[in-house]
Amino acid sequence: MTKLVKPYGDTMNDGKIQLSFTLPVEWSEAADEAARQLVTKMGFTDAAVAEGRRIAAGFSFFVVYASTPQAVDVESIKAPSAREHAMTMEQVDDFVMTQIGRKIRIAGACIGTDAHTVGIDAILNMKGYKGDYGLERYHSFETYNLGSQIAPEDLVRYARENRIDAILASQVVTQKGSDVKNFTELVELLEAEGLRDAVVAICGGPRVTNLMASELGYDAGFGRGTLPSEVAAFVAVTLAERLKRQEKVTGRAGV
């Protein structure tokens, strides 16, 4: 079964969209026309400039409305979510003590040169986000927030020296693909150090999706709007499953 959908503007399936972008030209009526023609060359129809203005010397900003003839089959798209293990803080604490029998050691950091800790702080710090307490508040977690501008190799070294169970790597800045570069470097270092199977690896940021994280080699990815309890539940369930698999292989309880 297929279900083709197009953007909705004024009427169903009219394909109307809004684009915004900057051109490196001084604003003029000719600049407006350049923006309109550029959007038309992208394959859109009925392009109309709704906003065009100078934002700096030699640069202009535009908002253009247009229509697309393209549609997408939403029934054919698969993108599993990492948020399927929804539990409250109390339920996570009970689960960890019952299924793992000890606290989970978790370390998070804003890696690379990124200094924006708003995401990692929202998940780890006690106050949490949107009334959902951060992992420092959980009885079942030992939480280590390493802060910002942490090199991937330093985070891996910390994980090895402190027997960390789960790593949270955050990137808010995505300029020129710096987030993907740093996430890739981190997971490759975990592999090289023989730690990849020993830790639950999670990446996060406003542009991170679970599908993207999986393709990079992570256990999960969490994007905008993520609550601390969603991360806590995923870590608890994933680690418990991993320890049970290890116990079957070695005949010893996981530690």
pLDDT tens per residue across span 37-78: 999 999 999 999 999 999 999 999 999 999 999 999 999 988
Residues 16-33: pLDDT tens digits?
Answer: 999 999 999 999 999 999
Within 8 A by CB and 6+ apart from 210, the residues are 79, 80, 81, 82, 220, 221, 222, 223
Give the closest residue to 31 by CA, choosing from 46, 51, 52.
52
Read off the amino acid at residue 244: K
What is the pLDDT at residue 218?
A: 96
Give the closest residue to 152 by CA, choosing from 212, 225, 210, 218.
218
What is the pLDDT at residue 253?
A: 60
What is the pLDDT at residue 217?
A: 95
What are the structure tokens assigned to 227, written together?
């609550």
Measured CA to CA in angstroms, residue 187 lies from 118, 155, 164, 169, 183 at distances of: 22, 11, 15, 10, 6
CB-based contact 4:76 (threshold 8 Å): no
Cα atoms found within 13 Å of the Cα of residue 4, Cβ hemisphere only: 6
As a whole number of angstroms, the distance between CA 218 and CA 194 comes to 15
What is the pLDDT at residue 19?
A: 97
What is the pLDDT at residue 255?
A: 55
CB-based contact 152:186 (threshold 8 Å): yes
What is the pLDDT at residue 174?
A: 76
Measured CA to CA in angstroms, residue 218 lies from 64, 125, 180 at distances of: 37, 23, 12
User: Among all residues, which ones are annotated catalytic?
Assistant: 127
Regions in the chain scoring below 50 on pLDDT: none
Beta-carbon neighbour count of residue 80 at 10 Å? 10
Distance of alpha carbon 110 from the chain centroid: 12
